[in-house]
Amino acid sequence: MSGQVYKLTIFPEKDHFGRCYAVASEVARRLGFDPEEEFRFAVCVSEAYTNAFIHGNKSNPSKSINVVFAWDEETVRVDVEDQGEAKPEALHLDDSRPDIDCEKSGGRGVGILKLFADKMEVDERREGGLRVSISFRLRKKNSQVGVQLQKTNGGVNGNQSN
């Protein structure tokens, strides 16, 4: 994908879920998403991040997660990379629908990803861990591709490149 890339490395410090959500919302807003699209986008990034933390890194506080936003005029893709040892099967990718069994837990996150995102892929990273990639089509021409995302603090480190 040619365009812009913004990469965050998030460490599981205080309110790291909130930080991931806030950055995803900010990216969505700057890409011109309406509030409903912004919500869906932020939910998907949050689901992928939560999966990476719980199922990938097993909630290990010493392991970080990369969240990479890449966008051009047609698509935005988010790669969420953990440092764990889980296999793609651990994400229940074969579930065709979200879990509707009240007695069971799990499975809903992937269901939400599948329904909200236009495309979802999972692969194993050469350096170890899983990469979950979710893509969204941009419905209108993005006039703010050159968006600057400089706000970094606490457990979030980010950088942007073309």
Nearest to 66 by CA among 87, 40, 45: 45
- Quick one: 106 or 146, whose CB is closer to other proteins? 106
53: tokens are 């933390």
Provide, rounded to whole angstroms, the least separation between the CB of residue 18 and other proteins: 6
Q: 63: exposed, middle or buried (C-beta count within 10 Å: 0-12, 13-18, 19+)?
A: middle
Q: State which amino acid sits at residue 34.
A: D
Cross-strand partners of 119? 135
- Quick one: 61 or 106, whose CB is closer to other proteins? 106
Provide, rounded to whole angstroms, the least separation between the CB of residue 120 and other proteins: 14
Residues in the site for other proteins, rule: CB under 8 A? 15, 17-18, 21, 35-36, 39-40, 42-43, 46-47, 50, 53-54, 97-100, 102, 105-106, 108-109, 111-112, 115-116
Q: State which amino acid sits at residue 56.
A: G
Provide, rounded to whole angstroms, the least separation between the CB of residue 104 and other proteins: 9
- Quick one: 5 or 40, whose CB is closer to other proteins? 40
CB proximity list for 21: less than 8 A, separation 6 or greater: 42, 45, 46
Provide, rounded to whole angstroms, the least separation between the CB of residue 91 and other proteins: 12
